[in-house]
Amino acid sequence: MYAFTKKLPNPALKRYLESEPISSIQFVDTKGNKPYYTMNGKRYGGIHSKLKKMYYPNYQRKKRRFSKSIHRTKKASSKELGKTIDRQLFHFVKKPERKPKNALALALVEYWTSIKHTVQAAQVPVYIEDLERVTQADVITEDNFGRLWMWEVKSGFNRAQKQGFLLHFKEEVPNKDSNHWELQRHYTHQGLVKGGLPLFASHVINVYQNGESIEVKKRKVPKWILTK
């Protein structure tokens, strides 16, 4: 289900992955029906549908209109692209001597190398007790001080427009894709910490094609989510 490095593995991450109930989590792809997770034999749903009911039940994703020049230079994402990046990062963790062939996945690896991080794991299982849901952390890295970071990877240029505001916040939080990503990151981070993993930080990281170049952006954690 997950990939974990064999080269200088972080001991705290190793303990987390071997602990109960984390080690019992399995992902079940039903090939046509909605996938789900099992943990100690019990079936669990993922995080996205739960958050949607809680924070944006009436949201229907609508694309923004851009000029043709922007469509040509900044490439949007697709489910297939996201799966390709996840798959290549997964295999890179297992065999770091083989760099990803996908340009976006390679750009992410090069970014983490540039900030002196080693990629420790990919698709790490997470039980979120507060929501009674199971999800996966996209990537866990270790910095040169031995601290662990979690990354919520989002591919492609975001073309969705905001619609209203998220529910249950004291301030007005725009109901848009990037803020939905922050909710996923926040709850995944909390689930990891409550499961015993000493995370130092977590961020949404966005990677997309922009003309001939590739943009990698680490998103700053917004103030509104820090008050939860």
Instruction: Please write the tens of the pLDDT for every residue from 39-64.
Output: 999 999 999 999 999 998 877 666 65
Q: What is the mean pLDDT of residues 193-199?
A: 98
Spell out where 46-162 has E strands: 118-128, 133-142, 148-155
Q: What is the pLDDT of residue 74?
A: 65
3-state helix, strand, coil in the chain (%, to 5): 35, 30, 40
Q: What is the mean pLDDT of residues 158-176?
A: 86
> Above pLDDT 70, what percent of the chain?
91
Residue 160 has pLDDT above 60, yes or no: yes
pLDDT (tens digit, 9 = 90+) per residue, 102-135? 999 999 999 999 999 999 999 999 999 999 999 9
Q: What gap in Å lies between CA 135 and CA 213, rounded to an integer?
A: 32
Domain segments of the chain as ranges = 3-226
Residue 76 has pLDDT above 70, yes or no: no
Torsion sign over Cα 35, 41, 46, 51 = positive
Q: What is the pLDDT of residue 124?
A: 98
Summary mean pLDDT of the chain: 91
pLDDT (tens digit, 9 = 90+) per residue, 21-39? 999 999 998 777 888 999 9
Q: What is the pLDDT of residue 69?
A: 54
Please tell me the pTM assigned to this model: 0.91
Q: What gap in Å lies between CA 57 and CA 222, rounded to an integer?
A: 22
> What does 201-221 look like in DSSP terms, one character per residue?
EEEEEEEEEETTEEEEEEPPP
